[in-house]
Structures are given as structure tokens and as C-alpha cells.
């Protein structure tokens, strides 16, 4: 059994987003004046965020299976998710070990951490036994917990990423989702500062 940390990698993004948004926004206004980031800020202040849909960014996200179930609820996005139907976690490609992400909130005591570790170890043991007995990965996966490490690719336009951050950086968001959202936020700000300035720490 391996314990891994959540991570986020920016895989692709529209180059020169401020230039593209300005160019497309000028179709609406047929105007000159504010340039680049100033133009984006003006659009956001006016609530004219549809122009931000002309640019997008995509991430490869490593998190647990529970968080991926929350991510795919963002319907204005594209997803490519690791398939537990086809991935045989007992195979060489995975080093023969299942990987899990330890949830936050186990700091309450060593017994909490031991309980979680015992549960995922047992799930791994049963998964291996099922695979050894000839059960296919798509059936054996039924015993795998939400803590299973999962990878998902997510692409969204800048407007949807702003919506995502408003929801997922909230204090009421799941702690693991907030952790992923923080990593995404940092990347988005570097990519397109004018569109994500309000989310800057």
C-alpha cells in the first residue's frame, strides 16, 4: 500500500488569454480603450463573463475517488478519469500496490489514523484476493474505498473556472476539495491574472 499526496498539474491553457478575450470582447462593444487585463477587469465588473468562455485551461489532478465524484458535478467542463474498470491495480504498471490518499481530519489521535490505515489495507487485501481468484478488475473494484488515489483530467473555460473557485474555495467546501482548488487557483492566477485576481491570496 502506498500513501500519496494530492497534486495538480496544468497540462494546457489558451496562450495569450487577455489578448483573445479583448479581441472577442471588442466584437460586442466595437470600442477601443482599456487594454489586456484592464479590459478583462471591466468585463468582470459589468458581469459580462461570457467573453471569458473563449479561453480555457486543463489540469491533471491527483486526488481521491471521493473528490473526483464531486469534480464531475461541474457540468460545463470536460473530464477524462482513471478507469477502475480497466486498471488492474495488482499489475506491474502500478508497482503491485494500490495507492491511497489519507484524508485530513485524522489528527484527532493515532487511533483514528490506525483505523483508517487498517480499513484501506483490508480493502487492498480483499481486492488482491479477488483478482488472484480470477475476478475481473471491474468487479473487484467494488471493495475499493473513496480514499483510493484517482487521476482525472479536467478542462474548463475561464468563466467556469471562476465559478469552480467560488464554490470550491468556500469554507463550507470539503477540505480535500479545497486543497485541490487552492492548487488550481495558484495555476490559474499565473496563467490569466486579470481573470483570477479576486482569488489571489
The secondary structure of 55-99 as a DSSP string is -EEEEEEEEEHHHHHHHTT--SSEEEE--TTT--TTSGGGTT--E
Can you tell me the mean pLDDT for 134-146?
Answer: 96
Dihedrals phi, psi of 19, to nearest 5 degrees: -65, -45
**pLDDT confidence bin for 124, thresholds 50/70/90:** very high
Out of 3.20.20.120, 3.40.50.620, 3.30.1360.170, 2.100.10.30, select the CATH number for domain 2-82+155-199.
3.30.1360.170
Dihedrals phi, psi of 59, to nearest 5 degrees: -125, 150
Q: How buried is residue 10: exposed, middle or buried, by Cβ count under 10 Å (0-12/13-18/19+)?
A: middle
**pLDDT confidence bin for 149, thresholds 50/70/90:** very high
More confident residue, 175 or 112: 175
So where are the chain's domains? 2-82+155-199, 92-143
> Residue 179: its pLDDT value, please?
96
Lowest-confidence range among 34-38, 74-78, 97-101? 34-38
Active site residues: 168
Asked if residues 32 and 76 have their Cβ atoms less than 8 Å apart, the reply is: no
Can you tell me the distance from the alpha carbon of 8 to that of 71, in angstroms, rounded to the nearest whole number? 13
pLDDT more than 90, % of the chain = 79
Can you tell me the mean pLDDT for 71-80?
Answer: 94
C-alpha dihedral, 40 to 76 to 60 to 103, nearest 10°? 110
Amino acid at each position: 500500500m502506498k500513501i500519496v499526496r494530492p497534486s495538480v498539474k496544468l497540462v494546457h491553457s489558451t496562450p495569450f488569454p487577455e489578448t483573445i478575450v479583448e479581441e472577442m470582447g471588442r466584437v460586442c462593444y466595437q470600442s477601443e480603450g482599456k487594454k489586456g487585463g484592464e479590459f478583462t477587469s471591466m468585463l468582470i465588473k459589468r458581469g459580462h463573463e461570457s467573453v471569458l468562455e473563449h479561453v480555457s485551461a486543463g489540469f491533471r489532478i491527483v486526488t481521491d475517488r471521493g473528490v473526483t465524484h464531486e469534480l464531475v458535478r461541474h457540468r460545463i467542463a470536460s473530464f477524462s478519469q482513471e478507469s477502475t474498470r480497466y486498471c488492474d491495480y495488482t499489475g506491474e504498471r502500478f508497482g503491485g500496490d494500490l495507492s491511497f490518499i489519507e484524508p485530513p481530519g485524522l489528527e484527532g489521535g493515532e487511533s483514528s489514523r490506525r483505523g483508517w490505515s487498517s480499513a484501506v489495507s483490508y480493502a487492498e487485501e480483499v481486492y488482491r484476493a479477488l483478482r488472484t481468484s480470477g475476478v475481473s478488475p471491474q468487479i473487484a473494484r467494488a471493495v475499493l474505498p473513496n480514499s483510493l488515489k484517482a487521476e482525472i483530467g479536467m478542462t474548463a473555460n475561464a468563466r467556469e473556472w471562476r465559478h469552480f473557485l467560488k464554490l470550491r474555495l468556500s469554507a463550507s467546501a470539503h477540505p480535500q476539495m479545497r486543497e485541490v482548488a487552492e492548487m488550481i487557483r495558484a495555476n490559474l492566477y499565473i496563467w490569466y491574472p486579470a481573470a483570477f485576481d479576486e482569488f489571489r491570496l
